[in-house]
Chains A and B, each alone.
Chain A
């Protein structure tokens, strides 16, 4: 049996097992918790301190300046911020409708028997490492884009002015599409959860009034799942913003602002990952500062997502979130 608790430490009861007194136990746990909190603080402090030289030497203008030429002391990261936003925008614009439609299909249209298998498959694919998507994108999809997709899009939509320049395969569009493929499972999984918990009685209420299936979805189910869907959207966006290697592998890595969807570009993460190894001094500090900018954006978006998902009380996809 367990020993009687006393305030004194030391071996008690049967065997030589040592058991901390309650005070020691609680203090120990508290210490660990503080340690972890300290780690987080260290993280923030370290990054800010290393980024400070960039701001003290260059001010703040480099964040919005568009020339990146370290050899000549120019560290404008605007092309990369734009690249980040543009690839994320492409991915999200594709992922939201397609993800929602897929979630609706999985929640209502797919026969009940294959529903769990199909949903699990989609969710599992969220766990596939991003570097694998990058490899596939570069070797399998890029040639397809080069030979088929981009020429087709140029012919069909060239009039929009978005498809200037030669078709290279790699570039902004491919990066956006790869990102889309990567964030769709997140969008689908979370959306499907919130759609499925809209109470049946509301669905039945609408049906009994003479609504068609689409009317039920549009007027009752989707509005009812509105907040959760917003949460899914923010989660997916957060993941897209922070994605590094898959994008770096297929975006063509050009430090200039892209003027066409087919042009090569770069994102803040791809900039950092490509240049970090050889950079020193101001450039290094700038890169770290860019990481800080990215961090701020990423943290804001993720916090908003968590709050939204939590406030609708859904089962949060807590363990499989953004990379």
Chain B
């Protein structure tokens, strides 16, 4: 019986050791393993080394807002890539674009009067929900553009 017990203990110990080893081998690495600059871009230094094209961002925003109905998810995904420093560039790249305040698009049914032109901030305020716009305001308020 003693031999049996010893055998059992050895088997259990071996299985336990194998399980522990397997756990440590499969253990996922700690988050962040040194791959460049801060991915949140919320440091005082701007940019995370990735080349940023403000014109592309501005066009994506325009495409998401220009028709009736707004693709809020697309807009928020664009802004996930726009740091505070880059917001100014996107704002400038967007320039002023004509906007129909009543319909929320660019259609102009009056041939005698052209639509007023509006900045990116104006477009965003009109097109986004109050919560989404507030989120953008919190992030970019230091630029004094929104």
The finding on whether chains A and B are genuine partners in a shared complex, rather than unrelated, reads no
